[in-house]
Structures are given as C-alpha cells and as structure tokens.
Amino acid sequence: MAATIVICLVIAAIVVLGVLHYRKNLRSGCCGGDSDAAPKRIKVQERDLSHYPYEKILDINGMTCINCVTYVQNALNSLDGVYCKVDLGKKKAVVHMKEDLPDQLLRKTVAGIGYTVGAVRGAA
C-alpha cells in the first residue's frame, strides 16, 4: 500500500512539472528561453505581392513556438527577392519570390537554421 502511494506521488510530481514546463514554453517560446531576447524580425521592404510572381508553399517540420516562426521567416526573407509568411498552426511557409528559386535552395536555407522541409509545392 505504501509503495502504491509513493508511486502515485512520483507520477503526480512528474505531471505537475511537465505542465509547468509546457506553460513556460507557451509564454516565452521554446527557442527564446528566459534569458534570451526574442529574435528580431527582418522587415521586408517590398510587400506588394504583385511584385512577386512566383509562390511556393513549404511544409516546415520542427516549429513549436512563435520564435521558431521568426527564425524561419528571417532565414527565408534574407534571400534576395523573397517575401515569406509562416503559419505556426499549419506549420507552413508561403514563400513569395521575384524569381523562381530552386526547391533545394529553400530547403537548404531552412535546414541551415535547424528545421526541415517536408513537401514543397506551388501555390494552390
């Protein structure tokens, strides 16, 4: 009986710690941490979508918070002639391009910051 109580208390403690950690990640982001400042967004000067005739949609694996979104957007927006928006809920990046960039370049750019790209497809 005493062993059962101890096991239940250990399991309860693990669950409480897990919930607290999850709540912390929701507030500060898993990639930001408490001591790090949130990453600064790269602002794209040209936001008129009519100037971007090409569009690709990337499935991004590994994003878990708003800081992840910022890292992915910054990496893709740093490419010349690219305006990107990332949706964390859908785990997708919509990449608007002035020139049709190769899928491999987009994959390599995202992989360079620690995320992977699943499917790459043209706009629907």
Structure confidence at residue 22 (pLDDT): 73
**Residue 105 belongs to some domain of the structure:** yes
Q: Are residues 55 and 108 in the same domain?
A: yes
Domain with 65 in it: 51-122
- Separation CA 91–CA 20 (nearest Å): 24
Q: Which helix (H) or strand (E) holds 61?
A: strand 54-61
CB 92 within 8 A of CB 59: yes
**Residue 79 belongs to some domain of the structure:** yes
Q: Are residues 58 and 117 in the same domain?
A: yes
Q: For residue 36, is pLDDT > 70?
A: no
Q: Are residues 26 and 66 in the same domain?
A: no
Q: Are residues 55 and 4 in the same domain?
A: no
Q: What is the CATH number of the domain that holds 72?
A: 3.30.70.100
**Residue 36 belongs to some domain of the structure:** no
Helices (H), the chain: 2-28, 66-77, 103-111
Structure confidence at residue 104 (pLDDT): 96
Q: Are residues 82 and 26 in the same domain?
A: no
Structure confidence at residue 24 (pLDDT): 65
Q: What is the pLDDT of residues 71-117, one digit of tens each?
A: 999 999 999 999 999 999 999 999 999 999 999 999 999 999 999 99
